[in-house]
Structure 1
Amino acid sequence: MKILVTGSNGFVGKNLIAELKNKGYNEIFEFNRNNNISLLEEYTKQCDFVFHLAGENRPKNDNEFMEGNFVFTSQLLELLKKYGNKAPVLLTSSIQAEKDNPYGRSKKAGEDLLFNYYYETDTKVYVYRLPNLFGKWSKPNYNTVVATFCHNIARDLDIQINQPDAELSLCYIDDVLEEFLNALEGNPTVHEDFCVVPVTHNIKLGELAELIKSFKESRTNLSIPNMEDALTKKLYSTYLSFLPEDQFSYDLKMNCDHRGYFTEFMRTPERGQVSVNVSKPGITKGNHWHHTKNEKFLVVNGEGVIRFRKIASDEIIEYRVSGKKLQVVDIPTGYTHSIVNVGETDLVTVMWANECFDPDKPDTYFVEV
């Protein structure tokens, strides 16, 4: 199948083309404002489907709205008619088409062109009135407030919030792509006269800003956002795509002494915390027990022995652990336990605890195994 994508250099275009290639569509005609119109004429002779994503949303003057959203659409449809090409056409419009402003009127005019094209040629058309889109490769101060917030917060730049209680309707780029591929296969989601992306999210502007700020703070407090919440998960992925390229990494606090070091990696209120423990050869760590706190140990380097003794018992239980055989050892409650480096190299253990450490309620009682 030969697929024409107008606006190929835009936010949606880049994501769509990447996903089309992922799905095995290799004959993609990419057209953008830098190309000559003669190239569009060649593409409209051959294409089997049109994703018409090109448009104008932030011109230098209002007249350019109609030029980008109406005139170009008219040119595209005239070329398809010229060559008798009845390839289905998908148009990305906007919820702004319902409003009486220069942008909205230009989008509505483009919609009307497409519907008239359908009535005239009996060609399949899919008109999507999209809400505010967000995701990777979007442009700050251009595509969406999400992009602007992510870009600025990641760089410690100010953001402006004039109406914190303003309600936003957001749609994630991956959800858009999934729906567009459905349309490509002839199965769009239709509501009345328009096609829709079935998954959208609502959030207040002020809440959006605070959530994105929390993503930046998570590098300091080691928290992990709540990935069970679909919008949070999608926003966090978007935020990471805006990190400056020299700031992908960040340091962790290493609590060091002669025995080795202990470093917290991540903390979650619902799922506990993960840490990395390094013990020098011959070193024993632990010798404590817990009432409720429980842990999992995973040795990833070196040779060690984990010892257990149930409180009020003399019997010692041993588990040999090695980085050569990855094996999780549960640390049950009511057992004092220790881990000993019996090898000649550092013993590296990934440790998970079911709750984050609370110095006021440590639930840790030191008793020799």
Structure 2
Amino acid sequence: MRILIRALAAVTSRFPWVVLATTLALTVVFAGLSTTLDSASGQEGFSPESAAIDASERISELFGDGSTASVLQVVIADQGGDVLTREALEVVAELAAAIAASPAGEAIVDRPGEPGILSYLVPVQQALAAQGLAATDLPDDAAVKALYADALAEAGPELGFAAQLVPEGGGDTPSLGMVLVFVDATTDIDAQIEREVAVADAVAEVDATTPLEVSAFSFALLFGDEDDFLGEVAQLFTIAFAIILVVLLFVFWVTPRGATSRVASARRMVADTSVVMLTIVLVVLWMNGVGALLQRAGVLGPLTEVAQIVPILLVGLGVDYGIHLTSR
């Protein structure tokens, strides 16, 4: 490394304008290429074996039945409470109506014998439908529990899946219940994400109107947070850049020996700081530009979220190297 630095210093001292022009030209080229850098979306780069994703895949195996439908899970929760209630039954009905009215309503797989929305309260819903009643016709929560128990006992294995949509051992006062939404799958990933995000938005609208906690989850929804992630990375990079800039101003401050040297001291401080920060910016641009070239050559694939954080690491490493180099 010392030999390389000395060689670069010798070339720069002998041909300063040539080095400057070459650096600017390469920077312009790499900056243009960096705009074509392909970035991957999704969270598999962070946690390919997360519990949430494993649970989603397990639910797809149990209820997806190998069909072309994607299973989106909606969890209705009342921590420390009970979701086998008339209020929860009304929330399930509101969920079905909101999802049907959403932009993704037409994509819900709803066929004879294959309902597009399957709730843990489906035994109660079927019992009410057979009697021509609605949730508002039930006098209290005890009536809901009685219908639920009777329907499960009479139907046997046919409605046995409903018991799998509440926590095991919850009895007649489960604190969680699950609603499965079957969304027609498409080969267009972006379109699939839009559909499931639309369902999640409908779920959020219902959540805002009830004291129960209603939240949606699916693997595709993780991809919908890409813009938030990129925004956080940009914000983190800006904050790191600003903080380090302030730190460098203190590090490179030279205590003047006389009153007449204050201007020279300030000029030296600004010059050293500017050189370090400008070099870091060039390094980031060059790295992204070279990465884009390697992608075009087929050497690299789309950058994951972890790889996209590398520029922030380069800021820290570049500052450390710049301080050592300038101090010497």
Q: Same fold (TM over 0.5)?
A: no
TM-score scaled by length of structure 1: 0.23
Give the structure with the higher percent strand: 1
Greater RCO, 1 or 2 (C-alpha within 8 Å, sep 6+): 2
Greater Cα radius of gyration, structure 1 or 2: 2
The structure richer in helix per residue is 2
